[in-house]
Amino acid sequence: MPKQPVLTFRELVHILKAHGFLFRRQAKGSHEIWFCPQSQRFVTIPHHSGKTIKKGTLHAIMKDSGLSKDVFRGR
């Protein structure tokens, strides 16, 4: 079984933008809400510059986005 990817905020935003997600609004604290008009899905991501996103948080983002895990692995 392949390992879960390790991504930073910038890498995650790049993936989301490439798959139709748009910045919707700033959430409480250092979080952002992104929306995909095609799939009608919302994703909340933490904006902690330079840090990698924690494993559990990234898993929840992957699930909420509805995108394949391979998309996040770069395949």
Number of CB atoms found within 10 A of residue 38's CB = 9
d(CA 14, CA 11): 5
Confidence band, pLDDT 50/70/90 cuts, at residue 2: low
Which residue range is the domain that position 21 belongs to? Answer: 9-73
What pLDDT is attached to residue 5? 80
Classify residue 4: in a domain, yes or no. Answer: no
Question: 9-64, pLDDT tens digit by residue?
Answer: 999 999 999 999 999 999 988 999 999 999 999 999 999 877 899 999 999 999 99
What pLDDT is attached to residue 74? 78
Instruction: Identify the CATH number of the domain in which residue 38 sits.
Output: 3.30.920.30
- pTM comes to 0.88
> What is the tally of structural domains in the chain?
1
What pLDDT is attached to residue 75? 61
Classify residue 69: in a domain, yes or no. Answer: yes
Classify residue 33: in a domain, yes or no. Answer: yes
What pLDDT is attached to residue 73? 86
Classify residue 3: in a domain, yes or no. Answer: no
Classify residue 2: in a domain, yes or no. Answer: no
Question: Contact, 57 vs 12, CB < 8 A?
Answer: no
Classify residue 68: in a domain, yes or no. Answer: yes
d(CA 34, CA 39): 12
Classify residue 32: in a domain, yes or no. Answer: yes
